Structure 1
Amino acid sequence: MTRVIHVAVGVVRRRDGKILIARRPDHVHMGGRWEFPGGKVEKGESVQQALSRELHEEVAIEVIELTPLVEIRHEYPEKTVLLDTWQVTAFSGEAAGQEGQETAWVAVQELDHFQFPDANQAIIEAIKAAEPL
Protein backbone atom coordinates (compact mmCIF):
# COMPACT_ATOMS: atom_id res chain seq x y z
CA MET A 1 0.00 0.00 0.00
CA THR A 2 1.41 3.39 -0.95
CA ARG A 3 1.60 6.13 1.61
CA VAL A 4 -0.99 8.93 1.52
CA ILE A 5 0.21 12.49 1.93
CA HIS A 6 -2.50 14.96 3.03
CA VAL A 7 -1.80 18.38 1.53
CA ALA A 8 -3.61 21.68 2.13
CA VAL A 9 -3.69 23.70 -1.11
CA GLY A 10 -4.61 27.37 -1.51
CA VAL A 11 -6.09 28.95 -4.61
CA VAL A 12 -5.27 32.53 -3.57
CA ARG A 13 -7.26 35.16 -5.48
CA ARG A 14 -6.64 38.88 -5.62
CA ARG A 15 -9.50 41.35 -6.02
CA ASP A 16 -8.77 41.52 -9.78
CA GLY A 17 -9.43 37.76 -10.02
CA LYS A 18 -5.82 36.74 -10.67
CA ILE A 19 -4.54 33.61 -8.93
CA LEU A 20 -1.19 33.10 -7.21
CA ILE A 21 1.03 30.29 -8.48
CA ALA A 22 4.58 29.31 -7.48
CA ARG A 23 7.32 27.34 -9.24
CA ARG A 24 8.45 24.14 -7.49
CA PRO A 25 12.19 23.91 -6.75
CA ASP A 26 14.10 21.87 -9.33
CA HIS A 27 15.36 19.31 -6.78
CA VAL A 28 11.92 18.13 -5.54
CA HIS A 29 9.29 15.78 -6.98
CA MET A 30 7.81 17.47 -10.09
CA GLY A 31 10.53 20.13 -9.83
CA GLY A 32 10.31 23.15 -12.13
CA ARG A 33 6.55 22.86 -12.55
CA TRP A 34 4.10 25.44 -11.24
CA GLU A 35 1.71 24.78 -8.37
CA PHE A 36 -0.80 26.40 -6.07
CA PRO A 37 0.87 27.18 -2.72
CA GLY A 38 0.30 24.98 0.31
CA GLY A 39 1.85 22.07 2.14
CA LYS A 40 1.45 18.99 4.28
CA VAL A 41 -1.13 18.88 7.04
CA GLU A 42 0.74 18.17 10.29
CA LYS A 43 -0.58 15.88 13.04
CA GLY A 44 -3.10 17.72 15.21
CA GLU A 45 -3.74 20.47 12.64
CA SER A 46 -6.97 21.15 10.79
CA VAL A 47 -6.67 21.69 7.04
CA GLN A 48 -7.48 25.37 7.55
CA GLN A 49 -4.73 25.73 10.18
CA ALA A 50 -2.22 23.95 7.93
CA LEU A 51 -3.10 26.14 4.96
CA SER A 52 -2.84 29.35 6.99
CA ARG A 53 0.55 28.24 8.36
CA GLU A 54 1.91 27.17 4.97
CA LEU A 55 0.78 30.35 3.17
CA HIS A 56 2.42 32.46 5.88
CA GLU A 57 5.67 30.45 5.63
CA GLU A 58 5.79 30.13 1.83
CA VAL A 59 4.38 33.39 0.49
CA ALA A 60 4.07 35.74 3.50
CA ILE A 61 0.31 36.24 3.51
CA GLU A 62 -2.20 35.95 6.33
CA VAL A 63 -5.44 34.16 5.45
CA ILE A 64 -8.60 36.09 6.34
CA GLU A 65 -11.28 34.15 4.48
CA LEU A 66 -11.30 30.76 2.78
CA THR A 67 -13.89 28.38 1.35
CA PRO A 68 -13.57 24.75 0.22
CA LEU A 69 -13.06 24.23 -3.52
CA VAL A 70 -12.30 20.56 -4.22
CA GLU A 71 -10.67 17.46 -2.69
CA ILE A 72 -8.54 15.40 -5.06
CA ARG A 73 -6.87 12.04 -4.54
CA HIS A 74 -4.09 11.44 -7.06
CA GLU A 75 -1.99 8.29 -7.38
CA TYR A 76 1.66 8.61 -8.32
CA PRO A 77 3.76 5.42 -8.63
CA GLU A 78 5.60 6.12 -5.35
CA LYS A 79 2.86 7.82 -3.31
CA THR A 80 -0.73 9.02 -3.16
CA VAL A 81 -1.54 12.66 -2.52
CA LEU A 82 -4.80 13.95 -1.08
CA LEU A 83 -5.08 17.58 -2.15
CA ASP A 84 -7.53 19.40 0.13
CA THR A 85 -8.01 22.55 -1.94
CA TRP A 86 -9.47 25.81 -0.64
CA GLN A 87 -10.09 29.19 -2.26
CA VAL A 88 -8.52 32.05 -0.31
CA THR A 89 -10.79 34.98 -1.07
CA ALA A 90 -9.42 37.45 1.47
CA PHE A 91 -5.88 37.83 2.81
CA SER A 92 -3.46 40.45 4.07
CA GLY A 93 0.14 41.04 3.08
CA GLU A 94 1.96 41.14 -0.25
CA ALA A 95 2.54 37.65 -1.60
CA ALA A 96 6.18 36.89 -2.34
CA GLY A 97 8.16 33.64 -2.36
CA GLN A 98 9.83 33.21 1.05
CA GLU A 99 11.73 30.04 0.13
CA GLY A 100 13.44 31.32 -3.02
CA GLN A 101 10.63 30.22 -5.32
CA GLU A 102 9.36 32.25 -8.25
CA THR A 103 5.73 33.38 -7.95
CA ALA A 104 3.27 34.87 -10.42
CA TRP A 105 -0.27 36.25 -10.46
CA VAL A 106 -2.15 34.86 -13.46
CA ALA A 107 -5.65 35.09 -14.91
CA VAL A 108 -7.72 31.90 -14.88
CA GLN A 109 -7.55 31.66 -18.69
CA GLU A 110 -3.72 31.82 -18.49
CA LEU A 111 -3.37 28.76 -16.23
CA ASP A 112 -3.21 26.45 -19.27
CA HIS A 113 0.01 28.20 -20.37
CA PHE A 114 1.90 26.87 -17.32
CA GLN A 115 3.09 23.32 -16.66
CA PHE A 116 1.57 21.92 -13.43
CA PRO A 117 1.97 18.51 -11.76
CA ASP A 118 -0.63 16.01 -13.01
CA ALA A 119 -2.48 16.13 -9.69
CA ASN A 120 -3.13 19.87 -10.15
CA GLN A 121 -5.10 19.46 -13.40
CA ALA A 122 -8.30 18.68 -11.48
CA ILE A 123 -7.77 21.84 -9.40
CA ILE A 124 -7.53 23.91 -12.58
CA GLU A 125 -10.76 22.33 -13.84
CA ALA A 126 -12.48 23.13 -10.52
CA ILE A 127 -11.28 26.76 -10.72
CA LYS A 128 -12.67 27.09 -14.25
CA ALA A 129 -15.98 25.48 -13.22
CA ALA A 130 -16.32 27.94 -10.32
CA GLU A 131 -15.82 30.97 -12.60
CA PRO A 132 -18.88 33.12 -13.28
CA LEU A 133 -20.08 32.90 -16.88
Structure 2
Amino acid sequence: MSKKVIEVAVGVIKTGSKIFISKRHESQHQGGLWEFPGGKVEVGETVFTALKRELKEEVNIDVLGSRELQIIEHDYGDKCVRLIVHIVDKFAGEAKGLEAQLCQWVEITSLNNYAFPAANQAIIDKLHTEMS
Protein backbone atom coordinates (compact mmCIF):
# COMPACT_ATOMS: atom_id res chain seq x y z
CA MET A 1 0.00 0.00 0.00
CA SER A 2 1.43 3.37 -0.91
CA LYS A 3 1.68 6.08 1.69
CA LYS A 4 -0.47 9.16 1.46
CA VAL A 5 1.52 12.19 0.36
CA ILE A 6 0.92 15.27 2.50
CA GLU A 7 1.02 18.51 0.52
CA VAL A 8 2.66 21.30 2.48
CA ALA A 9 2.85 24.99 1.57
CA VAL A 10 6.23 26.29 2.79
CA GLY A 11 7.10 29.97 3.07
CA VAL A 12 10.70 31.12 2.85
CA ILE A 13 10.09 34.54 4.37
CA LYS A 14 12.84 36.81 3.12
CA THR A 15 13.92 40.36 3.73
CA GLY A 16 17.25 41.42 2.26
CA SER A 17 19.71 38.58 2.90
CA LYS A 18 17.83 37.27 5.94
CA ILE A 19 15.34 34.41 6.23
CA PHE A 20 12.79 33.89 9.02
CA ILE A 21 12.96 30.42 10.59
CA SER A 22 11.13 28.79 13.47
CA LYS A 23 11.82 25.79 15.69
CA ARG A 24 9.39 22.87 15.71
CA HIS A 25 7.95 21.88 19.10
CA GLU A 26 9.42 18.65 20.48
CA SER A 27 5.99 16.97 20.29
CA GLN A 28 5.70 17.56 16.51
CA HIS A 29 6.94 15.35 13.66
CA GLN A 30 10.65 16.23 13.27
CA GLY A 31 10.39 18.05 16.62
CA GLY A 32 13.26 20.18 17.87
CA LEU A 33 14.45 20.98 14.34
CA TRP A 34 14.30 24.38 12.65
CA GLU A 35 11.97 24.93 9.71
CA PHE A 36 10.64 27.38 7.21
CA PRO A 37 7.07 28.16 8.37
CA GLY A 38 4.07 26.74 6.60
CA GLY A 39 1.61 23.92 6.81
CA LYS A 40 -0.73 21.44 5.21
CA VAL A 41 -2.71 22.39 2.13
CA GLU A 42 -6.32 21.60 3.06
CA VAL A 43 -8.85 20.06 0.65
CA GLY A 44 -10.15 22.70 -1.76
CA GLU A 45 -7.34 25.15 -0.97
CA THR A 46 -4.79 26.47 -3.44
CA VAL A 47 -1.16 26.46 -2.36
CA PHE A 48 -1.17 30.27 -2.16
CA THR A 49 -4.34 30.29 -0.02
CA ALA A 50 -2.80 27.71 2.33
CA LEU A 51 0.43 29.69 2.49
CA LYS A 52 -1.42 32.89 3.40
CA ARG A 53 -3.52 31.12 6.06
CA GLU A 54 -0.62 29.23 7.64
CA LEU A 55 1.76 32.20 7.78
CA LYS A 56 -0.95 34.38 9.34
CA GLU A 57 -1.71 31.69 11.97
CA GLU A 58 1.92 30.76 12.70
CA VAL A 59 3.98 33.91 12.33
CA ASN A 60 1.56 36.86 12.14
CA ILE A 61 2.23 38.09 8.60
CA ASP A 62 -0.11 38.86 5.73
CA VAL A 63 1.37 37.46 2.51
CA LEU A 64 0.95 40.00 -0.29
CA GLY A 65 2.83 38.02 -2.93
CA SER A 66 5.13 35.06 -3.42
CA ARG A 67 6.89 33.10 -6.12
CA GLU A 68 7.46 29.38 -6.31
CA LEU A 69 11.03 28.38 -5.52
CA GLN A 70 10.76 24.60 -5.92
CA ILE A 71 8.78 21.46 -5.16
CA ILE A 72 10.37 18.75 -3.03
CA GLU A 73 9.07 15.25 -2.45
CA HIS A 74 10.54 13.45 0.54
CA ASP A 75 9.82 10.12 2.24
CA TYR A 76 10.58 10.21 5.97
CA GLY A 77 9.68 6.54 6.35
CA ASP A 78 6.65 7.25 8.52
CA LYS A 79 5.18 9.80 6.11
CA CYS A 80 5.72 11.31 2.67
CA VAL A 81 5.61 15.03 2.11
CA ARG A 82 5.40 17.17 -0.99
CA LEU A 83 6.74 20.60 -0.10
CA ILE A 84 5.63 23.41 -2.37
CA VAL A 85 8.16 26.06 -1.46
CA HIS A 86 7.53 29.75 -2.06
CA ILE A 87 9.76 32.76 -1.52
CA VAL A 88 7.69 35.29 0.43
CA ASP A 89 9.29 38.72 0.12
CA LYS A 90 6.09 40.76 -0.10
CA PHE A 91 4.26 40.76 3.21
CA ALA A 92 2.72 43.04 5.82
CA GLY A 93 3.15 42.79 9.57
CA GLU A 94 6.04 41.82 11.80
CA ALA A 95 7.02 38.15 11.71
CA LYS A 96 6.88 36.57 15.17
CA GLY A 97 5.93 33.21 16.61
CA LEU A 98 2.25 32.93 17.53
CA GLU A 99 2.42 29.28 18.64
CA ALA A 100 5.02 29.68 21.42
CA GLN A 101 7.75 28.53 19.04
CA LEU A 102 11.27 29.96 18.92
CA CYS A 103 11.73 32.15 15.83
CA GLN A 104 14.51 34.26 14.43
CA TRP A 105 15.86 36.02 11.37
CA VAL A 106 19.11 34.50 10.10
CA GLU A 107 21.46 35.27 7.25
CA ILE A 108 21.07 32.89 4.30
CA THR A 109 24.77 32.12 4.62
CA SER A 110 24.19 30.93 8.23
CA LEU A 111 21.33 28.50 7.52
CA ASN A 112 23.68 25.49 7.53
CA ASN A 113 24.41 26.23 11.21
CA TYR A 114 20.86 25.13 12.13
CA ALA A 115 19.45 21.60 12.20
CA PHE A 116 16.56 21.27 9.71
CA PRO A 117 14.49 18.24 8.64
CA ALA A 118 16.19 16.35 5.80
CA ALA A 119 13.70 17.57 3.17
CA ASN A 120 14.68 21.18 3.91
CA GLN A 121 18.33 20.79 2.86
CA ALA A 122 17.34 21.18 -0.80
CA ILE A 123 15.72 24.53 0.06
CA ILE A 124 18.90 25.74 1.77
CA ASP A 125 21.02 24.58 -1.18
CA LYS A 126 18.72 26.40 -3.63
CA LEU A 127 18.86 29.63 -1.57
CA HIS A 128 22.66 29.49 -1.59
CA THR A 129 22.65 28.94 -5.37
CA GLU A 130 20.28 31.87 -5.94
CA MET A 131 22.61 34.14 -3.96
CA SER A 132 25.75 33.32 -5.92
Bin for the TM-score computed over the shorter chain: over 0.9
Q: Structure 1, residues 63-105: CA drift from partner, whole Å, max 9, x if none?
A: 1120010100001111110000000011110111000001010
Report the RMSD for the aligned CA atoms in angstroms: 0.7
Q: What one-letter code is carried by the residue in structure 2 that aligns with 1:24?
A: R
Shift of 1:28: 1.0
Q: What one-letter code is carried by the residue in structure 1 that aligns with 2:32?
A: G
Cα distance in 1 for partners of 2:70, 2:5 equals 17
% identical equivalent positions: 47
- Is it true that 1:28 corresponds to 2:36 in the alignment? no
- Is it true that 1:125 corresponds to 2:125 in the alignment? yes
- Pairing of 1:26-65 with structure 2 (within 5 A): 26-65=26-65
Shift of 1:126: 1.2
Cα distance in 2 for partners of 1:128, 1:45 equals 30
**Alignment partner of 2:11: what SS?**
strand
**How many residues were matched structurally?**
131
Which consecutive residues of structure 1, in runs of 5 or more, have no partner in the other structure?
Answer: none
- Report what 1:12 is aligned to: 13
TM-score using structure 2 length: 0.97
- Is it true that 1:84 corresponds to 2:84 in the alignment? yes
